Amino acid sequence: MTNYVIIGTGAAGVSAAETIRKHDPKGKITLIGEEPDGYYSRPGLAYILTGEIPSSQLYPFAPEDFERLGIHLVSGQATGLDLARKQVTLANGKALAYNRLLLATGAQARPAGVPGEKLPNGETLPGVIQLDNFANTREIVRRARKAKTAVVVGGGITALELVEGLVTLGVKTHYFLRGNRYWSNVLDEIESRIVEYRLQEEGIRIHFNTEIETILSRPTGLFGKGEIRVSAVKTKAGKIIPCEMVGVAVGVGPRLELAKAAGLKIEKGVVVEETMHTSHPDIYAAGDVAQVNDPLTGKPVMDVLWPTARDQGRVAGANMAGVYTVYKKEIALNVTRLAGLTTTIIGTVGGKTPDNDTIGIVRGDSETWREIPDAIAAQSNFDVNRIRLMVGEKTLLGAIVMGDQTLSSPIHRLVADQVDITPIRERLLQSDGQVGEVIAGFWTQVNGGGSRNVKP
Ligand SMILES: Cc1cc2nc3c(=O)[nH]c(=O)nc-3n(C[C@H](O)[C@H](O)[C@H](O)COP(=O)(O)OP(=O)(O)OC[C@H]3O[C@@H](n4cnc5c(N)ncnc54)[C@H](O)[C@@H]3O)c2cc1C
């Protein structure tokens, strides 16, 4: 009987466990997780902040589902890996033996790295918050009940989720951007402006070219005897903004502690082959912690995407159970909301403007998007319903669809299937804002009047 041990109860770990069980009905599967909340939807956390869904909707699995699959759950942190003995050590001192091990340890939010963010004992100053897991989401809600004002720094999707969540919770929110526009290495200037305009309409105060110099704090309560917490931020221009919360969403980094200690090959993340095998024969890695190769660009890439983590977990699980399976990275895709506007990001869409609001990658993000495609942009007119296509020599290399999503699925298929767009290339480039019409007509032809299966 094979002894499978998986570290991490997130999307990648659970997907691997399900797949192992499918191929090996008798093997022992142990899932180690340090979060008391277990397996839940991280992308769903933003909807908890805005109060759009109840907490109960975050759980894709009930405890009985783990029982039904015969998955043994171990609560606690894995602190060590002994490759020679094939053992995982837990924080409580116990050791678990494995034949095959999966590292599905995910990623963790990075600190802002500004003075005042940490207390002298190294802990984070109360009131400095991050939208990273269920526990800190609850903390945001709890603090927001008493807070009047917050300052948020960072970029990408999580910063906006934080900003909009705080506003929904009734907190007056200032959003600091280091540069002069939002998410400048993925969005073009018009898209950034659409998002910024909508945020301002929601009452969010955006401060361009603004950085925190220091986070100020003071003790709360009568005679200053309570907790020491955020009281204001001082900007590099010397302005002081009193606030009770500082939201940090500058990016995430893979959880590499165990892989490092075990001497596995690491670059940006744990390096894996297409079978999700690490540099060690018994150890696999999947999800936010793993670094794969992007077939589109040929470069090593990190993704922080839920469907990618599930896919990689599935491939790792199959190979761990002895069923040879290869991971083929799909075109990076996310359907998200930016300032309330549904936005689909597909393939390579990057621009030449660096984004200094983030360090590396953020949640719900793919490094692929930042790649600057060898392409010419074709776009529909300025409107909230906007399509930007990256038109390559023969194929579409990427796209951003904002607002009306009628064409996002067809465009995704055209990019993912590398459909030859020669018949419409010139029309797209000369479409004078009518990109949507040209694509819709072409899709009907390619799709044979609707007979082709369009993946959701
Ligand atoms: C606010 C937010 C918004 C997001 N939005 C989107 C989105 O719009 N679209 C999208 O596709 N993705 C989004 N994501 C990203 C997506 O949730 C992740 O890519 C996905 O959860 C990664 O799964 P994973 O299994 O690799 O890691 P995780 O889900 O992070 O799970 C890893 C688990 O391992 C545990 N762990 C780590 N080390 C140890 C250890 N030593 N011992 C025990 N346990 C350990 C961690 O505590 C964690 O529970 C978002 C994430 C967040 C937080």
pLDDT tens-digit map of 366-385? 766 666 666 677 776 656 78
Ligand 1-lining residues (CB < 6 angstroms) = 7-13, 32-35, 42-43, 45-46, 77-78, 104-107, 131-132, 157-158, 161, 255, 258, 287-288, 304-307, 309, 334, 336, 363-364
Residue 381, pLDDT score? 60
Q: Give the mean model confidence (pLDDT) for residues 118-124.
A: 94
pLDDT at 43 over 70: yes
**Ligand 1 pocket mutation, candidates 37, 42, 366, criterion most atoms within 8 A of CB:** 42
Tens-place pLDDT, residues 179-197: 999 999 899 998 999 999 9
**Closest CA relative to residue 162, chosen from 178, 173, 147, 149:** 173
Residue closest by Cα to atom 33 of ligand 1: 8
**How buried is residue 33: exposed, middle or buried, by Cβ count under 10 Å (0-12/13-18/19+)?**
buried
Band of residue 362 on the pLDDT scale cut at 50, 70, 90: low
**Buried-state track 252-278, b at ≥16 Cβ within 10 A, e below 16:** bbbbbebbeebebebebbbbbeeebbb
Tens-place pLDDT, residues 68-108: 999 999 999 999 999 999 999 999 999 999 999 999 999 99
In ligand 1, the atom with minimum distance to the C-alpha of 13 is 25
**Average pLDDT, rounded, for the chain:** 91
Residue written as token pair 């540069």: 179
Percent of the chain scored above 70 by pLDDT?
91
Band of residue 222 on the pLDDT scale cut at 50, 70, 90: low
CA–centroid distance, 24 to ligand 1, in Å, is 26
CA–centroid distance, 190 to ligand 1, in Å, is 31
Q: Give the mean model confidence (pLDDT) for residues 403-414.
A: 94
What's the rounded Cα separation, in Å, for the pair 217 and 226?
A: 12
Q: Which residue has the higher pLDDT, 434 or 40?
A: 40
Band of residue 360 on the pLDDT scale cut at 50, 70, 90: low
CA–centroid distance, 26 to ligand 1, in Å, is 28
Tell me which H or E stretch contains 365: strand 365-366
| 141 alpha carbon, distance to own chain's centre | 21
Number of other CB atoms surrounding residue 119 within 10 Å: 13
In ligand 1, the atom with minimum distance to the C-alpha of 257 is 41
**pTM, 2 dp:** 0.90
Residue 454, pLDDT score? 40
Residue 289, pLDDT score? 98
**Closest CA relative to residue 422, chosen from 381, 451, 394, 392:** 394
Residue 224, pLDDT score? 64
CA–centroid distance, 216 to ligand 1, in Å, is 31
CA–centroid distance, 391 to ligand 1, in Å, is 33
Residue 372, pLDDT score? 64
Give the CA count within 13 Å in the CB-facing half-sphere of 312.
37
Residue 266, pLDDT score? 97
Q: Which residue has the higher pLDDT, 220 or 297?
A: 220
Residue 256, pLDDT score? 97
Q: Give the mean model confidence (pLDDT) for residues 157-168.
A: 95
